[in-house]
A and B are shown apart, each in its own frame.
Chain A
């Protein structure tokens, strides 16, 4: 069964195209060759007729026919003879070839100089060609005068010969042309197949490599040995795509591994605390034990909540409730959550700029962004420093900037701060931060179609959220 494929398509369309061209060419060639053969056959017959005409002459004694058998034996031979007959216009036979054996040849009414060719059945049963030529016999030179005109004694020459040899030749030509088409098509099929096989070899190689692609080794680039210019760009694009898939896969794997890692330690804590307390209850301080169990559970709760939060904001479509939000007010409200921790570190907070400035965005997500950014700022700020926030407006869009001083980050850490579960310290033992805050912020930023950038200069860490639709007198909340 014919299967749709590039190779089959190329073969089929090529054969179809070549087949049509060949058929047209063969038909035309046949028409020309057959026409040429018939024309030459008739010319030969005419030439012979004209030779016979030169042998008819009129003189004082009447019309004479000076024919000699030995010079034209074809009219005398027994096998495959030719025929001629001279008639007067009245129909009376003037002279006939011996091959006719007294039979008469058919003729039609015509005019002098007109050549009438027709197919006839010859007297020996063969198919033949007949030429009828009306003429006026030539006069002897001495009798020629102005008074004597050409129409006086009009005669008819009928000459015929077999045409089966011609028909056989035409048949041969037809067969040759007819059979050459499938032969050429067969040859073309083999040639195109070999060419497409060779041409598609890089594709086959690519297919084999893609089929045997190991999901754990996507980073290894595909290499086509029989590479051609057309394939290089395809292979390049595929390798780029594989690199992106591999990166994403690696990130997912790392995230899963990190998430599992984050959960394993508190689970191990709970398991071992419970085992030891169960086995040696007297050696464990009950209050301390419950406290530790609570802390481990809270840590697990934080991890699981962060993972759920991340999954929630990555889920699309998430229904957003857009409204006008007073930025300074949201900062004031959120600061209250971290005020105790901030006080213990001697941190201050200030909102710089228009305290009445408002933006149009989704309340819940925007509030979570502020909360997470403030939480990070409080956690990592240097003691006795100031955390500042400001909103600057440029036309219809506003940029929110949060600045704090920190000695825990370096320039090289900045590309990682949005990575899931990334933490500066190797031990990953912080109780309140698990490295998900900025990942969640980034997810919300993408959800709200905003932009976020971080920078660090002389311990001043700056997070800028841009693209916030600002409220001005002309703007109306939807």
Chain B
């Protein structure tokens, strides 16, 4: 899952980025309002963590601009302004959640996961696809109850495809989502990660879990028995 953090406090930005990366998120960060807006308009994120008081462009203007462009990404406002009217204003302008500083990292993580669950219409942190089960909170995949040892990138790859069940995602879409926006990566990297993940899944007894659509990309399909 990919996050955008727009926060002008460098130290807070850094610690949030470290924490979310450690949790398996792909994170883009910026401390400048205008740059943050460019990120939000250029890339697809699962959630945006947005501060209000920012240099060059304030968070409320960014929020308005993003919603005006009909981008439905979850936006969580993170602000030291804790007055009721500030919170109401932020939520009325289209923010999905509002968290006042100071806050606990765990609370922020829980709220981000809630927003993502709501966005993908998940009832819990678990996604069941046949024998495979994904825990988006623990960031682990298990097959028939046995936890697979996947790298962070391999997990993120499966999670991205699982969240977009039955949808073919191109290598570019996967690259945009799995790597920081400032990192230049080739399609080969995706192929390598897909290949290693498939091997681990096959060893666990699940073959053909990630399917290739030649010329289009990759997809995870719901088993026929689970289709309505």
Is B205 an interface residue when CB atoms closer than 8 A count as contact?
no
- 5 A-B pairs with least C-beta separation: A264-B80, A268-B102, A268-B101, A267-B102, A264-B101
Q: Which residues of B contact A292 (CB under 8 A)?
A: 11, 14-15
What CA separation (Å) do A269 and B101 show in the bound complex?
A: 9
A425 to B57, CA, bound (A): 11
Contact status A265-B58, CB under 8 Å:
no
- Flag if B18 contacts A284 (CB, 8 Å): yes
Among A276, A280, A284, A427, point to the contact of B53 (Cβ < 8 A).
Answer: A427
B11 touches A295 (CB 8 A): yes
| One of B103-111, B113-121, B163-171, B182-190 at the interface | B103-111
Main secondary structure of the interface of B (DSSP, over half): loop
- Across the interface, name the chain A residue whose C-beta is closest to B52: A426
Q: Mark A264-288, 1 if CB is under 8 A from B, else 0.
A: 1101110111011101100110000
Kindly list chain A residues whose C-beta atoms are within 8 Å of the C-beta of B9. 265, 268-269, 429
Tier of interface size on chain A: 20 to 34
Give 15 new A-B contacts, CB below 8 A, not counting A264-B100, A292-B11: A264-B82, A264-B102, A265-B101, A269-B11, A269-B15, A271-B104, A272-B15, A272-B19, A272-B104, A273-B15, A276-B16, A277-B15, A292-B14, A426-B54, A426-B58
Write out the residue numbers on chain B whose beta carbons fall within 8 Å of the beta carbon of A271: 102-105
Inter-chain contact B106/A272, CB cutoff 8 Å: no
| A426 lies within 8 A of B22 (CB) | no
A98 to chain B minimum Cβ distance, whole angstroms, is 112
For B1-45 the 0/1 string (1 means CB < 8 A from A) is 000000011011011101101100000000100000000000000
A sample of 6 cross-chain residue pairs with beta-carbon separation below 8 angstroms, ordered by A number, consists of A261-B80, A265-B80, A268-B103, A269-B15, A272-B16, A276-B15
Q: B83 and A257: CB pair below 8 A?
A: yes
Instruction: Say yes or no for B122: interface residue by CB 8 A criterion.
Output: no
B81 at the A/B interface (Cβ < 8 Å)?
yes
Distance, CA A267 to CA B19, complexed state (A): 17
How far apart are the CA atoms of A249 and B27 in the complex, in Å? 43
Could you tell me if B14 and A280 are in contact, using CB atoms closer than 8 angstroms? no
A427:B8 contact, CB within 8 angstroms: yes
User: Do residues B19 and A280 form an inter-chain contact, with CB atoms below 8 A?
Assistant: yes
Decide yes or no whether A201 CB sits under 8 A from chain B: no
Residues on the A chain within 8 Å of B81, using CB:
257, 261
B18 contacts A275, C-beta separation under 8 Å: no
| Main SS at interface, chain A | helix
Nearest CB of B to A195, in Å: 48
Closest-by-CB residue of A relative to B108 is: A272
Query: Closest Cβ of chain B: how far from A292's Cβ, in Å?
Result: 5
Chain B residues within 8 Å of chain A by Cβ, number: 27
Q: How far is the CA of A257 from the CA of B11 in the complex (A)?
A: 22
- Number of A-B residue pairs with CB-CB distance less than 8 Å in the complex they form: 84
| CB of B192 to closest CB in A, whole Å | 24
Question: When the two chains form their complex, are residues A265 and B54 in contact, meaning their CB atoms are under 8 A apart?
Answer: no
Asked if B12 contacts A269 (CB within 8 A), the reply is yes
- CB-CB nearest in chain B for A296: B11
The distance from the CB of A434 to the nearest CB of chain B, in whole angstroms, is: 13
Say yes or no: B18 contacts A276, CB within 8 Å.
yes
Residue of B nearest to A425 (CB): B55
A283–B80 contact, CB under 8 A? no
The answer to whether the Cβ of A260 comes within 8 Å of any Cβ in the partner chain is yes
Instruction: Decide yes or no whether A7 CB sits under 8 A from chain B.
Output: no
A426 to chain B: which residues have CB within 8 Å?
53-55, 58
B105 is contacted by which of A257, A261, A267, A272 (Cβ under 8 Å)?
A: A272
A291's closest neighbor in chain B, by CB? B11
Residue of B nearest to A270 (CB): B102
Chain A residues with CB under 8 A of B103: 268, 271-272
For the complex, is A428 an interface residue (Cβ under 8 Å from B)? yes
Structural contact, A260 and B80, CB atoms closer than 8 A:
yes
Q: Which residues of chain B come closer than 8 Å to A284, judged between CB atoms? A: 18
Contacts of A273 in B (CB 8 A): 11-12, 15
CA distance A346 to B136 in the complex (A): 54
Q: Which residue of A lies closest to B16 (CB)?
A: A272
Q: CB-CB contacts of B43-64 with A at 8 A, as 1s and 0s? A: 0000000000111001000000
Q: Which residues of A contact B8 (CB under 8 A)?
A: 427, 429
Q: How far is the CB of B90 from chain A (nearest CB, A)?
A: 15
Q: Which listed residue, A267, A276, A280, touches B101 by the CB 8 Å rule?
A: A267
Interchain CA distance A467-B83 in the complex, whole Å: 42
For the complex, what is the distance from the CA of A429 to the CA of B12, rounded to whole Å? 11
User: Mask for B190-201, Cβ within 8 A of A = 1, else 0?
Assistant: 000000000000
Q: Which chain B residue shows the least CB distance to A288?
A: B14
Given A275-B104, A283-B18, verify A268-B55 contact (CB < 8 Å).
no
